[in-house]
Chain A
Amino acid sequence: MSVAEVEITRKAVERGARGEQVRELAFRAALLFSVGFGFIALAVLLVDVTIDGASLISYDFLTKFPSVIFPERSGISSALQGTLYLMVLTAVFIVPVGVATAVYLEEYADRERWWNRLIEVNIQNLAAVPSIVYGILGLAFIVRQPLSLGPVVLAGALTLGLLVLPVVIVVSREAIRAVPSSIREGSMALGATHWQTIWKQTLPGALPGIATGVILALSRAIGETAPLILVGAVAFVPFNPDPNPATGQYSAIPTIILSSVSNSDPEIQALASGAIIVLMAILLVMNAGAVYLRNRYEQKW
Protein backbone atom coordinates (compact mmCIF):
# COMPACT_ATOMS: atom_id res chain seq x y z
CA MET A 1 0.00 0.00 0.00
CA SER A 2 1.45 3.33 -0.99
CA VAL A 3 1.60 6.38 1.27
CA ALA A 4 -1.09 8.10 -0.81
CA GLU A 5 -3.40 5.16 -0.52
CA VAL A 6 -3.01 5.07 3.23
CA GLU A 7 -3.76 8.78 3.39
CA ILE A 8 -6.96 8.40 1.37
CA THR A 9 -8.10 5.46 3.46
CA ARG A 10 -7.47 7.33 6.69
CA LYS A 11 -9.40 10.36 5.50
CA ALA A 12 -12.34 8.25 4.45
CA VAL A 13 -12.36 6.59 7.80
CA GLU A 14 -12.13 9.90 9.66
CA ARG A 15 -14.87 11.60 7.72
CA GLY A 16 -17.20 8.66 8.16
CA ALA A 17 -16.51 8.53 11.84
CA ARG A 18 -17.13 12.25 12.32
CA GLY A 19 -20.46 12.08 10.48
CA GLU A 20 -21.53 9.18 12.64
CA GLN A 21 -20.50 11.04 15.77
CA VAL A 22 -22.62 14.07 14.92
CA ARG A 23 -25.65 11.92 14.27
CA GLU A 24 -25.02 9.97 17.45
CA LEU A 25 -24.81 13.21 19.46
CA ALA A 26 -27.94 14.67 17.87
CA PHE A 27 -29.85 11.50 18.64
CA ARG A 28 -28.71 11.51 22.24
CA ALA A 29 -29.62 15.17 22.63
CA ALA A 30 -33.12 14.48 21.32
CA LEU A 31 -33.51 11.64 23.78
CA LEU A 32 -32.26 13.75 26.67
CA PHE A 33 -34.63 16.55 25.75
CA SER A 34 -37.57 14.14 25.82
CA VAL A 35 -36.55 12.76 29.18
CA GLY A 36 -35.97 16.26 30.53
CA PHE A 37 -39.35 17.49 29.36
CA GLY A 38 -41.27 15.00 31.46
CA PHE A 39 -38.85 15.10 34.33
CA ILE A 40 -38.68 18.87 34.66
CA ALA A 41 -42.46 19.26 34.46
CA LEU A 42 -42.86 16.74 37.26
CA ALA A 43 -40.12 18.34 39.32
CA VAL A 44 -41.65 21.83 38.98
CA LEU A 45 -45.02 20.44 40.05
CA LEU A 46 -43.54 18.73 43.09
CA VAL A 47 -41.48 21.75 44.14
CA ASP A 48 -44.46 24.07 43.74
CA VAL A 49 -46.72 21.82 45.81
CA THR A 50 -44.06 21.37 48.45
CA ILE A 51 -43.50 25.11 48.81
CA ASP A 52 -47.23 25.68 49.19
CA GLY A 53 -48.01 22.73 51.39
CA ALA A 54 -44.90 21.78 53.38
CA SER A 55 -45.71 24.19 56.18
CA LEU A 56 -49.08 22.47 56.60
CA ILE A 57 -47.67 19.00 57.16
CA SER A 58 -47.76 18.20 60.85
CA TYR A 59 -49.13 15.60 63.17
CA ASP A 60 -52.26 17.71 63.58
CA PHE A 61 -52.76 17.86 59.82
CA LEU A 62 -52.91 14.08 59.71
CA THR A 63 -55.10 13.65 62.76
CA LYS A 64 -57.54 16.60 62.72
CA PHE A 65 -60.73 16.72 60.72
CA PRO A 66 -61.25 19.07 57.80
CA SER A 67 -63.24 22.20 58.52
CA VAL A 68 -64.61 24.86 56.21
CA ILE A 69 -65.19 27.21 59.11
CA PHE A 70 -61.67 26.96 60.63
CA PRO A 71 -59.39 26.10 57.70
CA GLU A 72 -56.28 27.05 59.70
CA ARG A 73 -57.02 24.26 62.18
CA SER A 74 -58.10 21.85 59.49
CA GLY A 75 -56.64 18.38 58.94
CA ILE A 76 -57.29 15.50 56.60
CA SER A 77 -57.76 12.69 59.11
CA SER A 78 -61.08 11.49 57.71
CA ALA A 79 -59.82 11.60 54.12
CA LEU A 80 -56.54 9.85 54.96
CA GLN A 81 -58.26 7.09 56.86
CA GLY A 82 -60.94 6.87 54.20
CA THR A 83 -58.30 6.42 51.49
CA LEU A 84 -56.40 3.79 53.47
CA TYR A 85 -59.64 1.96 54.23
CA LEU A 86 -60.60 2.11 50.55
CA MET A 87 -57.25 0.63 49.55
CA VAL A 88 -57.52 -2.26 52.00
CA LEU A 89 -61.04 -3.13 50.88
CA THR A 90 -60.12 -2.76 47.21
CA ALA A 91 -57.15 -5.08 47.68
CA VAL A 92 -59.31 -7.64 49.49
CA PHE A 93 -61.67 -7.56 46.50
CA ILE A 94 -59.23 -7.49 43.57
CA VAL A 95 -56.60 -10.00 44.72
CA PRO A 96 -58.78 -13.12 44.84
CA VAL A 97 -61.00 -12.14 41.91
CA GLY A 98 -58.16 -10.94 39.70
CA VAL A 99 -55.82 -13.84 40.42
CA ALA A 100 -58.60 -16.43 40.02
CA THR A 101 -59.57 -14.91 36.67
CA ALA A 102 -55.95 -14.94 35.54
CA VAL A 103 -55.53 -18.58 36.61
CA TYR A 104 -58.68 -19.55 34.74
CA LEU A 105 -57.62 -17.77 31.56
CA GLU A 106 -54.04 -19.06 31.63
CA GLU A 107 -54.49 -22.58 32.98
CA TYR A 108 -57.98 -23.75 32.13
CA ALA A 109 -59.53 -21.67 29.36
CA ASP A 110 -59.52 -23.37 25.98
CA ARG A 111 -58.76 -20.60 23.50
CA GLU A 112 -60.59 -22.52 20.81
CA ARG A 113 -63.87 -21.68 22.56
CA TRP A 114 -65.45 -18.42 21.50
CA TRP A 115 -66.55 -17.42 24.99
CA ASN A 116 -63.00 -17.56 26.32
CA ARG A 117 -61.80 -15.34 23.50
CA LEU A 118 -64.73 -13.02 24.22
CA ILE A 119 -63.70 -12.78 27.89
CA GLU A 120 -60.14 -11.94 26.87
CA VAL A 121 -61.13 -9.23 24.44
CA ASN A 122 -63.55 -7.88 27.00
CA ILE A 123 -60.89 -7.59 29.69
CA GLN A 124 -58.52 -5.81 27.33
CA ASN A 125 -61.26 -3.33 26.45
CA LEU A 126 -62.28 -2.82 30.06
CA ALA A 127 -58.76 -1.64 30.86
CA ALA A 128 -59.32 1.24 28.43
CA VAL A 129 -62.73 2.37 29.71
CA PRO A 130 -62.56 5.89 31.27
CA SER A 131 -62.81 5.89 35.04
CA ILE A 132 -65.88 8.13 35.08
CA VAL A 133 -67.78 5.36 33.31
CA TYR A 134 -66.90 3.04 36.17
CA GLY A 135 -68.18 5.72 38.51
CA ILE A 136 -71.53 5.77 36.74
CA LEU A 137 -71.58 1.96 36.78
CA GLY A 138 -70.87 2.02 40.53
CA LEU A 139 -73.58 4.59 41.11
CA ALA A 140 -76.13 2.74 39.04
CA PHE A 141 -75.48 -0.83 40.14
CA ILE A 142 -73.70 -0.70 43.49
CA VAL A 143 -74.92 2.44 45.26
CA ARG A 144 -78.44 2.11 43.89
CA GLN A 145 -80.37 -0.94 42.64
CA PRO A 146 -79.69 -3.88 42.57
CA LEU A 147 -76.95 -3.90 45.25
CA SER A 148 -78.33 -0.78 46.99
CA LEU A 149 -75.30 -0.35 49.23
CA GLY A 150 -75.74 3.41 49.46
CA PRO A 151 -72.88 5.94 49.35
CA VAL A 152 -70.63 3.94 51.70
CA VAL A 153 -66.94 3.04 51.68
CA LEU A 154 -67.69 -0.50 50.50
CA ALA A 155 -69.42 0.87 47.40
CA GLY A 156 -66.37 3.06 46.70
CA ALA A 157 -64.00 0.11 47.14
CA LEU A 158 -66.03 -2.12 44.82
CA THR A 159 -66.14 0.60 42.18
CA LEU A 160 -62.38 1.23 42.38
CA GLY A 161 -61.87 -2.55 42.37
CA LEU A 162 -63.81 -2.93 39.12
CA LEU A 163 -61.79 -0.07 37.69
CA VAL A 164 -58.39 -1.66 38.34
CA LEU A 165 -59.41 -5.32 38.02
CA PRO A 166 -58.40 -5.50 34.33
CA VAL A 167 -54.91 -4.28 35.28
CA VAL A 168 -54.59 -6.93 37.98
CA ILE A 169 -55.80 -9.65 35.61
CA VAL A 170 -53.43 -8.65 32.82
CA VAL A 171 -50.42 -8.40 35.16
CA SER A 172 -51.27 -11.67 36.92
CA ARG A 173 -51.59 -13.47 33.58
CA GLU A 174 -48.18 -12.16 32.55
CA ALA A 175 -46.70 -13.38 35.83
CA ILE A 176 -48.31 -16.81 35.50
CA ARG A 177 -47.17 -17.11 31.90
CA ALA A 178 -43.62 -16.27 32.96
CA VAL A 179 -43.44 -19.46 35.04
CA PRO A 180 -41.77 -21.85 32.59
CA SER A 181 -43.73 -24.86 31.39
CA SER A 182 -40.84 -27.08 32.50
CA ILE A 183 -41.84 -26.35 36.11
CA ARG A 184 -45.45 -27.36 35.42
CA GLU A 185 -44.31 -30.49 33.60
CA GLY A 186 -41.91 -31.39 36.39
CA SER A 187 -44.69 -31.10 38.92
CA MET A 188 -47.27 -33.00 36.87
CA ALA A 189 -44.73 -35.73 36.11
CA LEU A 190 -44.41 -36.36 39.85
CA GLY A 191 -48.11 -37.17 40.04
CA ALA A 192 -49.31 -33.78 41.26
CA THR A 193 -52.78 -32.81 40.07
CA HIS A 194 -53.37 -29.75 37.94
CA TRP A 195 -54.68 -27.91 40.98
CA GLN A 196 -51.70 -28.92 43.16
CA THR A 197 -49.38 -27.77 40.43
CA ILE A 198 -51.06 -24.38 40.21
CA TRP A 199 -51.27 -23.90 43.96
CA LYS A 200 -47.80 -25.13 44.89
CA GLN A 201 -45.66 -24.28 41.86
CA THR A 202 -47.24 -21.83 39.45
CA LEU A 203 -48.75 -19.35 41.89
CA PRO A 204 -45.73 -19.21 44.24
CA GLY A 205 -43.53 -18.65 41.19
CA ALA A 206 -45.85 -15.92 39.92
CA LEU A 207 -46.40 -14.28 43.32
CA PRO A 208 -43.75 -11.53 43.11
CA GLY A 209 -45.13 -10.44 39.74
CA ILE A 210 -48.71 -10.58 40.97
CA ALA A 211 -47.89 -8.61 44.14
CA THR A 212 -46.11 -5.95 42.12
CA GLY A 213 -49.09 -5.71 39.79
CA VAL A 214 -51.56 -5.42 42.66
CA ILE A 215 -49.57 -2.59 44.24
CA LEU A 216 -49.35 -0.73 40.95
CA ALA A 217 -53.10 -1.24 40.42
CA LEU A 218 -53.79 0.12 43.90
CA SER A 219 -51.58 3.12 43.28
CA ARG A 220 -53.70 3.83 40.25
CA ALA A 221 -56.88 3.45 42.31
CA ILE A 222 -55.64 5.71 45.11
CA GLY A 223 -55.56 8.79 42.89
CA GLU A 224 -58.92 8.21 41.20
CA THR A 225 -61.32 11.05 41.88
CA ALA A 226 -64.15 10.98 39.38
CA PRO A 227 -65.64 7.59 40.24
CA LEU A 228 -65.36 8.29 43.97
CA ILE A 229 -67.33 11.51 43.66
CA LEU A 230 -70.05 9.67 41.76
CA VAL A 231 -70.34 6.89 44.31
CA GLY A 232 -70.54 9.29 47.21
CA ALA A 233 -67.15 10.09 48.71
CA VAL A 234 -67.64 13.45 50.44
CA ALA A 235 -64.95 16.07 50.93
CA PHE A 236 -65.39 17.64 54.37
CA VAL A 237 -66.37 14.78 56.66
CA PRO A 238 -65.80 15.55 60.32
CA PHE A 239 -65.46 11.93 61.45
CA ASN A 240 -63.38 8.88 60.55
CA PRO A 241 -64.96 6.12 58.46
CA ASP A 242 -67.12 3.64 60.33
CA PRO A 243 -65.38 0.28 60.85
CA ASN A 244 -68.39 -1.34 59.22
CA PRO A 245 -67.72 -0.71 55.52
CA ALA A 246 -71.43 -0.79 54.67
CA THR A 247 -72.50 2.15 56.82
CA GLY A 248 -71.77 5.83 57.13
CA GLN A 249 -70.22 8.58 55.04
CA TYR A 250 -66.57 8.58 54.08
CA SER A 251 -64.02 10.82 52.49
CA ALA A 252 -60.90 10.30 50.43
CA ILE A 253 -57.79 12.37 49.74
CA PRO A 254 -58.53 13.00 46.03
CA THR A 255 -62.02 14.32 46.80
CA ILE A 256 -60.72 16.69 49.46
CA ILE A 257 -58.05 17.93 47.04
CA LEU A 258 -60.64 18.60 44.36
CA SER A 259 -63.03 20.24 46.78
CA SER A 260 -60.37 22.49 48.37
CA VAL A 261 -58.91 23.61 45.07
CA SER A 262 -62.32 24.65 43.80
CA ASN A 263 -63.08 26.62 46.97
CA SER A 264 -62.81 30.42 46.75
CA ASP A 265 -61.14 30.77 50.18
CA PRO A 266 -57.32 30.75 49.70
CA GLU A 267 -56.83 29.21 53.15
CA ILE A 268 -58.98 26.26 52.15
CA GLN A 269 -57.17 26.09 48.81
CA ALA A 270 -53.89 25.66 50.68
CA LEU A 271 -55.30 22.49 52.22
CA ALA A 272 -55.08 20.94 48.77
CA SER A 273 -51.26 21.29 48.67
CA GLY A 274 -50.92 19.54 52.00
CA ALA A 275 -53.26 16.76 50.90
CA ILE A 276 -51.34 16.36 47.63
CA ILE A 277 -48.07 15.94 49.54
CA VAL A 278 -49.64 13.24 51.71
CA LEU A 279 -51.08 11.47 48.65
CA MET A 280 -47.72 11.63 46.84
CA ALA A 281 -45.96 10.26 49.91
CA ILE A 282 -48.33 7.29 50.06
CA LEU A 283 -47.89 6.69 46.32
CA LEU A 284 -44.12 6.86 46.64
CA VAL A 285 -44.12 4.31 49.46
CA MET A 286 -46.36 1.95 47.47
CA ASN A 287 -44.30 2.19 44.30
CA ALA A 288 -41.08 1.77 46.25
CA GLY A 289 -42.64 -1.32 47.78
CA ALA A 290 -43.44 -2.64 44.31
CA VAL A 291 -39.88 -2.04 43.13
CA TYR A 292 -38.49 -3.71 46.26
CA LEU A 293 -40.74 -6.76 45.82
CA ARG A 294 -39.73 -7.07 42.20
CA ASN A 295 -36.01 -6.84 42.87
CA ARG A 296 -36.00 -8.95 45.99
CA TYR A 297 -38.27 -11.83 45.03
CA GLU A 298 -38.44 -11.91 41.26
CA GLN A 299 -37.56 -15.39 40.08
CA LYS A 300 -34.81 -15.74 37.51
CA TRP A 301 -35.73 -18.91 35.65
Chain B
Amino acid sequence: MADRVTQEPENREAAEAATGSGGAPAMTGDAEIQAQKLEAKGQKPAGKRDAIFDLEDVGVAYGGTPAVREVNFPVYEHEITALIGPSGCGKSTLIRCLNRMNDLIPAATVTGKVNYHGQDLYGDDIDSVQVRKRIGMVFQKPNPFPKSIYDNIAFGPRVLGQKGDMDEIVERALRRGALWDEVKDRLKTNAFGMSGGQQQRLCIARALATDPDVLLMDEPCSALDPISTGRIEDLMIELRESYSIVIVTHNMQQAARVSNMTAFFTVELDADEKHRTGRVVEYDDTEKVFTNPSDERTEAYVTGKVG
Protein backbone atom coordinates (compact mmCIF):
# COMPACT_ATOMS: atom_id res chain seq x y z
CA MET B 1 0.00 0.00 0.00
CA ALA B 2 2.72 2.42 0.99
CA ASP B 3 4.71 1.56 -2.14
CA ARG B 4 1.69 2.23 -4.26
CA VAL B 5 1.15 5.62 -2.71
CA THR B 6 4.73 6.76 -3.16
CA GLN B 7 4.70 5.58 -6.75
CA GLU B 8 1.60 7.47 -7.71
CA PRO B 9 3.23 10.85 -8.43
CA GLU B 10 5.59 9.21 -10.93
CA ASN B 11 2.65 7.52 -12.61
CA ARG B 12 0.94 10.85 -12.90
CA GLU B 13 3.93 12.47 -14.52
CA ALA B 14 4.32 9.61 -16.94
CA ALA B 15 0.65 9.87 -17.76
CA GLU B 16 0.95 13.58 -18.43
CA ALA B 17 4.00 13.08 -20.62
CA ALA B 18 2.04 10.65 -22.76
CA THR B 19 -0.77 13.21 -22.98
CA GLY B 20 -3.18 11.32 -20.90
CA SER B 21 -2.64 7.71 -21.83
CA GLY B 22 -2.78 5.42 -18.85
CA GLY B 23 -2.99 6.80 -15.37
CA ALA B 24 -6.32 5.08 -14.84
CA PRO B 25 -6.83 3.89 -11.30
CA ALA B 26 -6.98 0.22 -10.56
CA MET B 27 -10.59 -0.79 -10.97
CA THR B 28 -11.52 -3.14 -8.21
CA GLY B 29 -14.90 -3.97 -6.87
CA ASP B 30 -13.18 -6.23 -4.39
CA ALA B 31 -14.51 -5.55 -0.93
CA GLU B 32 -11.36 -6.77 0.76
CA ILE B 33 -9.13 -4.32 -1.04
CA GLN B 34 -11.67 -1.61 -0.36
CA ALA B 35 -11.46 -2.40 3.32
CA GLN B 36 -7.67 -2.34 3.22
CA LYS B 37 -7.80 1.06 1.63
CA LEU B 38 -10.07 2.32 4.33
CA GLU B 39 -7.77 0.89 6.94
CA ALA B 40 -4.85 2.62 5.36
CA LYS B 41 -6.57 5.95 5.71
CA GLY B 42 -4.56 8.42 7.75
CA GLN B 43 -1.77 5.95 8.32
CA LYS B 44 0.69 7.66 6.05
CA PRO B 45 3.60 9.09 8.00
CA ALA B 46 3.32 12.86 8.19
CA GLY B 47 6.72 13.36 6.55
CA LYS B 48 5.60 11.63 3.34
CA ARG B 49 2.59 13.82 2.78
CA ASP B 50 2.85 16.48 0.11
CA ALA B 51 0.51 19.42 0.39
CA ILE B 52 -1.15 20.18 -2.92
CA PHE B 53 -2.94 23.23 -1.55
CA ASP B 54 -1.81 25.42 1.28
CA LEU B 55 -4.38 27.98 2.37
CA GLU B 56 -2.98 31.03 4.12
CA ASP B 57 -5.45 33.35 5.81
CA VAL B 58 -7.98 32.89 2.98
CA GLY B 59 -11.12 34.98 3.14
CA VAL B 60 -13.96 35.57 0.67
CA ALA B 61 -16.33 38.51 0.72
CA TYR B 62 -19.40 39.15 -1.41
CA GLY B 63 -19.76 42.87 -2.07
CA GLY B 64 -17.63 43.68 0.98
CA THR B 65 -19.52 41.36 3.36
CA PRO B 66 -17.21 38.56 4.47
CA ALA B 67 -18.66 35.09 3.87
CA VAL B 68 -15.72 33.11 5.18
CA ARG B 69 -12.42 34.27 6.66
CA GLU B 70 -9.12 33.29 8.22
CA VAL B 71 -8.95 29.86 6.66
CA ASN B 72 -5.57 28.19 7.17
CA PHE B 73 -4.95 24.55 6.35
CA PRO B 74 -3.06 22.36 3.92
CA VAL B 75 -4.73 19.88 1.55
CA TYR B 76 -2.66 16.75 1.01
CA GLU B 77 -2.02 14.98 -2.24
CA HIS B 78 -3.84 11.69 -2.92
CA GLU B 79 -6.14 12.14 0.00
CA ILE B 80 -9.76 13.07 0.34
CA THR B 81 -10.28 16.23 2.32
CA ALA B 82 -13.82 16.85 3.56
CA LEU B 83 -15.25 20.24 4.41
CA ILE B 84 -18.19 19.94 6.80
CA GLY B 85 -20.30 22.36 8.79
CA PRO B 86 -23.76 23.91 8.98
CA SER B 87 -25.39 25.75 6.06
CA GLY B 88 -24.01 29.20 5.38
CA CYS B 89 -20.62 28.48 6.92
CA GLY B 90 -18.77 29.17 3.69
CA LYS B 91 -17.72 25.63 2.72
CA SER B 92 -18.97 25.97 -0.84
CA THR B 93 -17.60 29.49 -1.07
CA LEU B 94 -14.20 28.24 0.00
CA ILE B 95 -14.10 25.25 -2.36
CA ARG B 96 -14.91 27.60 -5.23
CA CYS B 97 -11.72 29.53 -4.43
CA LEU B 98 -9.62 26.47 -5.09
CA ASN B 99 -10.23 26.62 -8.85
CA ARG B 100 -11.15 30.30 -9.04
CA MET B 101 -14.82 29.65 -9.78
CA ASN B 102 -15.57 32.67 -7.60
CA ASP B 103 -14.21 34.77 -10.47
CA LEU B 104 -17.56 34.20 -12.17
CA ILE B 105 -19.30 36.15 -9.43
CA PRO B 106 -18.31 39.78 -10.02
CA ALA B 107 -18.99 40.89 -6.44
CA ALA B 108 -16.78 38.21 -4.86
CA THR B 109 -13.34 39.19 -3.61
CA VAL B 110 -10.75 36.74 -2.31
CA THR B 111 -8.05 37.71 0.18
CA GLY B 112 -5.12 35.73 1.52
CA LYS B 113 -3.16 33.13 -0.39
CA VAL B 114 -4.42 29.95 -2.04
CA ASN B 115 -1.12 28.20 -2.70
CA TYR B 116 -1.27 25.37 -5.23
CA HIS B 117 2.05 23.54 -5.44
CA GLY B 118 3.54 26.60 -3.78
CA GLN B 119 2.07 29.10 -6.22
CA ASP B 120 -0.61 31.58 -5.23
CA LEU B 121 -3.64 30.95 -7.47
CA TYR B 122 -4.70 34.56 -6.99
CA GLY B 123 -1.26 35.89 -7.98
CA ASP B 124 -0.92 38.46 -10.75
CA ASP B 125 0.48 36.16 -13.41
CA ILE B 126 -2.05 33.36 -12.95
CA ASP B 127 -4.58 32.60 -15.71
CA SER B 128 -7.81 31.32 -14.19
CA VAL B 129 -8.49 29.22 -17.30
CA GLN B 130 -5.18 27.39 -16.82
CA VAL B 131 -6.05 26.85 -13.16
CA ARG B 132 -9.35 25.19 -14.07
CA LYS B 133 -7.61 22.92 -16.55
CA ARG B 134 -5.61 21.45 -13.67
CA ILE B 135 -8.33 21.54 -11.03
CA GLY B 136 -11.64 19.98 -12.01
CA MET B 137 -14.96 20.46 -10.30
CA VAL B 138 -18.18 18.53 -9.76
CA PHE B 139 -21.22 20.46 -8.63
CA GLN B 140 -24.07 19.92 -6.24
CA LYS B 141 -26.68 19.34 -8.91
CA PRO B 142 -25.62 17.16 -11.83
CA ASN B 143 -25.13 19.56 -14.74
CA PRO B 144 -24.67 17.53 -17.90
CA PHE B 145 -24.59 19.56 -21.10
CA PRO B 146 -27.65 19.12 -23.36
CA LYS B 147 -25.62 16.90 -25.67
CA SER B 148 -24.90 13.22 -26.12
CA ILE B 149 -23.02 11.29 -23.44
CA TYR B 150 -20.05 11.12 -25.81
CA ASP B 151 -20.03 14.85 -26.48
CA ASN B 152 -20.33 15.63 -22.77
CA ILE B 153 -17.09 13.77 -22.11
CA ALA B 154 -15.37 15.01 -25.28
CA PHE B 155 -16.16 18.68 -24.60
CA GLY B 156 -13.28 19.26 -22.17
CA PRO B 157 -10.57 17.50 -24.20
CA ARG B 158 -11.82 19.27 -27.34
CA VAL B 159 -11.74 22.80 -25.94
CA LEU B 160 -8.33 22.12 -24.43
CA GLY B 161 -7.14 20.92 -27.84
CA GLN B 162 -6.09 17.51 -26.52
CA LYS B 163 -4.60 15.32 -29.21
CA GLY B 164 -5.30 11.63 -29.53
CA ASP B 165 -8.10 9.25 -30.34
CA MET B 166 -11.24 10.88 -28.93
CA ASP B 167 -13.07 7.52 -28.73
CA GLU B 168 -10.28 6.27 -26.50
CA ILE B 169 -10.30 9.37 -24.33
CA VAL B 170 -14.07 9.08 -23.89
CA GLU B 171 -13.92 5.38 -23.05
CA ARG B 172 -11.13 5.88 -20.53
CA ALA B 173 -12.96 8.75 -18.80
CA LEU B 174 -16.20 6.75 -18.62
CA ARG B 175 -14.33 3.76 -17.20
CA ARG B 176 -12.72 5.98 -14.56
CA GLY B 177 -16.17 7.35 -13.78
CA ALA B 178 -17.46 3.75 -13.33
CA LEU B 179 -20.05 4.41 -15.99
CA TRP B 180 -18.71 2.67 -19.09
CA ASP B 181 -20.56 -0.62 -18.75
CA GLU B 182 -23.89 1.15 -18.26
CA VAL B 183 -23.62 3.52 -21.20
CA LYS B 184 -21.28 1.96 -23.76
CA ASP B 185 -24.22 1.01 -25.99
CA ARG B 186 -25.83 4.44 -25.93
CA LEU B 187 -22.98 6.92 -26.14
CA LYS B 188 -24.81 8.96 -28.76
CA THR B 189 -27.99 9.41 -26.75
CA ASN B 190 -28.71 12.62 -24.87
CA ALA B 191 -27.25 12.78 -21.38
CA PHE B 192 -30.53 14.20 -20.06
CA GLY B 193 -32.03 10.73 -20.42
CA MET B 194 -29.79 9.29 -17.69
CA SER B 195 -30.74 8.88 -14.05
CA GLY B 196 -29.56 11.47 -11.54
CA GLY B 197 -26.83 9.21 -10.20
CA GLN B 198 -25.63 8.39 -13.69
CA GLN B 199 -25.65 12.07 -14.59
CA GLN B 200 -23.46 12.86 -11.59
CA ARG B 201 -21.03 10.07 -12.48
CA LEU B 202 -21.03 11.47 -16.02
CA CYS B 203 -20.06 14.85 -14.58
CA ILE B 204 -17.26 13.19 -12.62
CA ALA B 205 -16.09 11.33 -15.73
CA ARG B 206 -16.30 14.59 -17.67
CA ALA B 207 -14.07 16.29 -15.13
CA LEU B 208 -11.61 13.39 -15.27
CA ALA B 209 -11.45 13.41 -19.08
CA THR B 210 -9.16 16.43 -19.03
CA ASP B 211 -6.71 14.72 -16.65
CA PRO B 212 -6.81 17.16 -13.77
CA ASP B 213 -4.62 17.06 -10.66
CA VAL B 214 -7.37 17.76 -8.23
CA LEU B 215 -11.09 17.07 -8.17
CA LEU B 216 -13.26 19.47 -6.21
CA MET B 217 -16.70 18.12 -5.31
CA ASP B 218 -19.32 20.48 -3.96
CA GLU B 219 -21.94 18.31 -2.24
CA PRO B 220 -21.86 15.82 -5.12
CA CYS B 221 -24.39 13.44 -3.57
CA SER B 222 -26.92 15.83 -2.11
CA ALA B 223 -29.37 15.24 -4.96
CA LEU B 224 -28.89 11.46 -5.07
CA ASP B 225 -30.41 8.40 -3.44
CA PRO B 226 -28.33 6.22 -1.07
CA ILE B 227 -27.45 3.65 -3.73
CA SER B 228 -26.13 6.25 -6.16
CA THR B 229 -24.36 7.94 -3.25
CA GLY B 230 -22.69 4.67 -2.32
CA ARG B 231 -21.46 4.21 -5.88
CA ILE B 232 -19.98 7.67 -5.95
CA GLU B 233 -18.29 7.14 -2.59
CA ASP B 234 -16.72 3.89 -3.87
CA LEU B 235 -15.62 5.80 -6.93
CA MET B 236 -14.04 8.54 -4.83
CA ILE B 237 -12.02 6.02 -2.87
CA GLU B 238 -10.77 4.52 -6.13
CA LEU B 239 -9.98 7.93 -7.57
CA ARG B 240 -7.93 8.88 -4.53
CA GLU B 241 -5.17 6.68 -5.96
CA SER B 242 -4.62 9.07 -8.84
CA TYR B 243 -6.19 12.35 -7.80
CA SER B 244 -6.46 14.60 -4.81
CA ILE B 245 -10.06 15.21 -3.84
CA VAL B 246 -11.69 17.98 -1.84
CA ILE B 247 -15.33 17.40 -1.01
CA VAL B 248 -17.95 19.61 0.60
CA THR B 249 -20.64 17.55 2.24
CA HIS B 250 -23.58 17.93 4.57
CA ASN B 251 -23.57 14.22 5.17
CA MET B 252 -21.30 13.55 8.14
CA GLN B 253 -21.35 9.79 7.67
CA GLN B 254 -20.10 10.42 4.16
CA ALA B 255 -17.21 12.55 5.44
CA ALA B 256 -16.38 9.87 8.01
CA ARG B 257 -16.59 7.07 5.42
CA VAL B 258 -14.47 8.51 2.65
CA SER B 259 -12.23 11.31 3.86
CA ASN B 260 -8.72 11.30 5.29
CA MET B 261 -8.80 14.84 6.62
CA THR B 262 -11.79 16.87 7.76
CA ALA B 263 -12.18 20.60 8.21
CA PHE B 264 -15.10 21.62 10.40
CA PHE B 265 -16.53 25.07 9.67
CA THR B 266 -18.93 27.03 11.77
CA VAL B 267 -20.88 30.27 11.44
CA GLU B 268 -20.03 33.19 13.66
CA LEU B 269 -22.07 36.31 14.14
CA ASP B 270 -20.25 39.62 13.94
CA ALA B 271 -20.01 41.90 16.96
CA ASP B 272 -22.95 43.92 15.61
CA GLU B 273 -24.82 40.63 15.02
CA LYS B 274 -25.58 41.54 11.42
CA HIS B 275 -23.19 39.51 9.35
CA ARG B 276 -22.63 35.80 9.51
CA THR B 277 -19.14 34.68 8.68
CA GLY B 278 -17.75 31.18 8.31
CA ARG B 279 -14.61 30.13 10.20
CA VAL B 280 -12.68 26.90 10.47
CA VAL B 281 -12.98 25.49 13.97
CA GLU B 282 -11.01 22.34 13.59
CA TYR B 283 -8.92 20.64 10.94
CA ASP B 284 -7.50 17.24 11.62
CA ASP B 285 -7.46 13.58 10.66
CA THR B 286 -11.02 12.52 9.98
CA GLU B 287 -10.84 9.81 12.60
CA LYS B 288 -9.82 12.30 15.27
CA VAL B 289 -12.46 14.85 14.25
CA PHE B 290 -15.20 12.26 14.53
CA THR B 291 -14.02 10.30 17.57
CA ASN B 292 -12.02 12.69 19.68
CA PRO B 293 -12.52 16.29 18.53
CA SER B 294 -10.53 18.92 20.36
CA ASP B 295 -13.22 21.63 20.10
CA GLU B 296 -16.56 21.22 21.83
CA ARG B 297 -18.38 22.88 18.91
CA THR B 298 -17.05 20.16 16.62
CA GLU B 299 -18.13 17.51 19.07
CA ALA B 300 -21.62 18.96 19.33
CA TYR B 301 -21.93 18.99 15.56
CA VAL B 302 -20.51 15.58 14.73
CA THR B 303 -22.51 13.89 17.47
CA GLY B 304 -25.68 15.52 16.17
CA LYS B 305 -26.36 17.74 19.19
CA VAL B 306 -26.54 20.81 16.96
CA GLY B 307 -26.97 21.45 13.25
Contact = CB atoms under 8 A, between A and B. Distances in A.
Interface of A: 110, 112, 180-193, 196, 200-201, 205, 299-301
Nearest to B134: A191
Contacts of A180: 143
B146 interface: yes
A183 B101 contact: no
Given A112-B106, A183-B145, 12 more contacts: A181-B104, A186-B144, A187-B155, A188-B101, A188-B104, A190-B132, A190-B155, A190-B159, A190-B210, A191-B133, A192-B156, A196-B159
A299 B191 CA distance: 13
**Top 3 nearest A-B pairs by Cβ distance?**
A191-B133, A190-B156, A182-B143
A156 B206 CA distance: 49
A190 B101 CA distance: 11
B23 interface: no
B139 to A, nearest CB: 6
Contacts of A196: 159
Contacts, number: 68
Nearest to A196: B159
B137 interface: yes
B129 A189 contact: no
B143 A191 contact: no
B178 interface: no
Interface residues of B, number: 26
A181 B96 CA distance: 15
Contacts of B146: 183, 205, 299, 301
Contacts of A201: 145
B101 A185 contact: yes
A189 B99 contact: yes
Contacts of B99: 189
B106 A110 contact: yes
A112 B106 CA distance: 10
Contacts of B133: 190-191
Contacts of A191: 129-130, 132-134, 156, 159-160, 210
16 contacts: A182-B141, A184-B104, A187-B155, A188-B101, A189-B132, A190-B136, A190-B155, A190-B156, A191-B129, A191-B130, A191-B132, A191-B156, A191-B210, A192-B129, A192-B159, A201-B145
B192 to A, nearest CB: 8
B129 A185 contact: no
B139 A185 contact: yes
A181 B141 CA distance: 12
Contact of A186 (B106, B192, B203): B203
Interface in B157-193: 159-160, 192
Nearest to A192: B159
B207 A190 contact: yes
B209 to A, nearest CB: 8
A184 to B, nearest CB: 7
Nearest to B130: A191
A176 to B, nearest CB: 14
B132 A188 contact: yes
A98 to B, nearest CB: 23
